[in-house]
Amino acid sequence: MSSLDERIMRAVEKVGPAVVNISTIRMVQDYVFHVHPVAGMGSGIIVDPEGYVASNNHVVAGSQRVDVTTVDGRKLAGKVIGADPTSDVALLKVDSAGLPTAELGDSDKLKVGQVVIAIGNPFGFALGGGPTVTMGLVSALKRQIQAQDRVLEDLIQTDAAINPGNSGGPLVDLEGRVIGVNTAMIPLAQGIGFAIPINEVKTRLEDLAKYGRVIRPWVGVVGLDLTREMAAYYGLPVSKGVVVARIVHYSPAFEAGLRERDILLRLDDTELTAVGDLQKALKAKKPGETIELVILRDGRRGTASVRLGETPET
């Protein structure tokens, strides 16, 4: 038996007891207005011994009933504490203490080519013998995919086999640390699955536990990437930045005096070369904080102080 085999088995033994099966019931109305129960399933990760379980929003969204089944066969009623469609993260609670928990790693340290293990319940526990284990590599980082009505960003791409029932289960390194939460696979494609980085999940779980929802900072601008072609056409002195295409009335940006066609060059100490830089910089902020923007307006540089608001609920 190789050392790699032994490391994989130790990792699975370490995290396996913290992987649960999640079964749901949704009430769906058909075209003649009859209501029918529809069953769904997915996976989850016990992240706190007091019964807190992390999973995907799409696993539990719209459910009237959620049951959580542990590896040792205990079936527990689950309550959704909060769920975030934007990041596809959900936090559940079961009424049980002393549960085995998974160790959460650091996804910022991931490298392309690193060996990872996906664990989940693609067919619930119908197959018997506990969760299903697959192995692969980190194929890419910071991937972006379209998922139904929203875009999921900064995902881990892996070729470890991920099936629909794996959603909400852990992606694990060879030390048995959770470095991602499996969220999606591309139908009809082989070896293409995605996971939410665990550092992103940790942040979302903190908000869900505290507020029941994710708190995001809001500026109130719609931005476009400034390209060299745009800069040349308008004779601008800069070729990179974020062009303010629209400002929401009475938003923080509106109150701070920003205007359409302003070009955002810097947010505090972060240079803004594209909209992605602005989004990433804002992720590290909280509503109520004040940011300093360096802007270009009519060929002149200036600054604007913006007190961040909270993203309006949709």
Residue 84 falls in the annotated catalytic set: no
Give the active site residue among 167, 173, 207, 277: 167
3-state secondary structure 246-263: EECCCCHHHHCCCCCCCE
Cβ neighbours of residue 190 closer than 8 Å, sequence gap 6 or more? none
For 191, 204, 292, the CA distances from 110, given in Å and listed in that order, are: 19, 20, 32
Catalytic residue among 23, 43, 88, 277: 88
**The tokens of 96 are what?**
């049980």
Is 34 designated active site? no
Question: 8, 172 in Cβ contact below 8 A?
Answer: no
- Residue 312 is given by DSSP the state P
Which member of 43, 58, 107, 207 is catalytic? 58
Polymer length in residues for the chain: 314
> Does the annotation count 167 as an active-site position?
yes
Tell me the helices (H) and strands (E) count for the chain, helix number first. 6, 22
Pair 214, 204: CB distance under 8 Å = yes
Residue 152, Cα to own-chain centre: how many angstroms?
A: 7
- Please state, in angstroms and as integers, the Cα–Cα distance from residue 149 to each residue in 17, 38, 85, 152, 289, following that order: 34, 21, 10, 10, 30
| Catalytic (active-site) positions | 58, 88, 167
